[in-house]
Amino acid sequence: MANIYVISSLKAGSGKTTIAMHLCEYLKQNHKTMLLDADFSTDHFEWALQHDKNLAFEHLDVSENDAITLDQRIQHLQKQYDKIVVDIDGHDSKALRSVLKHAHKMIIPTGVTAQDLKLLTEMVELAIAMKQSNPQLRVYVLLNKIPMQTEAQEIEQANQLLQDMPGMRFLNTIVYDDSSFVQAMQASQCIWKTQPQQGELMDQVLADLLAD
């Protein structure tokens, strides 16, 4: 059965699509990988249609009434692929719960503002609740798209809150906001091809995520 990675966030523009894209590129090198786009938008996924047989792509229009269909689809895909990456909106919904019921790892990108951390807390609480029906689920939080001018004290306060939050693990690498990621996405390219220095940063994020 395939390992399932869920990338989700309550905040628009959190960078979850970028993370999903790069995780797929990383995994497909050695595994038959599927990207399941269950988000409301298909923006930036043209790249997923241009790859070899080791990366498949599928978009599902998800609503409250589609949760059963999504659940059945995931069970079917698990038999065909080694790895499945799901990009889905972070609002508490039947669709998200149906995905988390099968997931092995959930990755939540977040900023460091009070509003960001409030939304993050809501998502972590949902994930912890889902662990009761899916004990294998592991939750990871990534500080992502952090403005370069952010004070070190703000980051330290966010780090402390994350480390004190039960039921999740904080990924050590911080990804700062950088136009090179936007440019890469607009060109349907991964950061490894367009900006090797930022590519090394993404390597660190994914190695940390996949280490356990």
The vertex-210 CA angle with 93 and 32, nearest 5°, equals 80
All domains in the chain, ordered by first residue: 3-210 (3.40.50.300)
Nearest alpha-carbon partner for 26 in 1, 8, 51: 51
Q: Tens of pLDDT along 203-212?
A: 999 999 999 7
> pLDDT digits over 125-183, tens only?
999 999 999 999 999 999 999 998 888 888 888 888 888 788 889 998 999 998 888 88
Beta bridge partners of 56: 34
Residues 16, 120: contact at Cβ < 8 Å?
A: no
The pLDDT > 90 percentage for the chain reads: 51
Helix (H) or strand (E) holding 173: none
pTM of the model: 0.92
The answer to whether the beta carbons of residues 110 and 141 sit under 8 Å apart is yes
Encode pLDDT of 63-119 as tens digits. 655 667 788 888 899 999 999 999 999 999 888 999 999 999 999 999 999 999 999
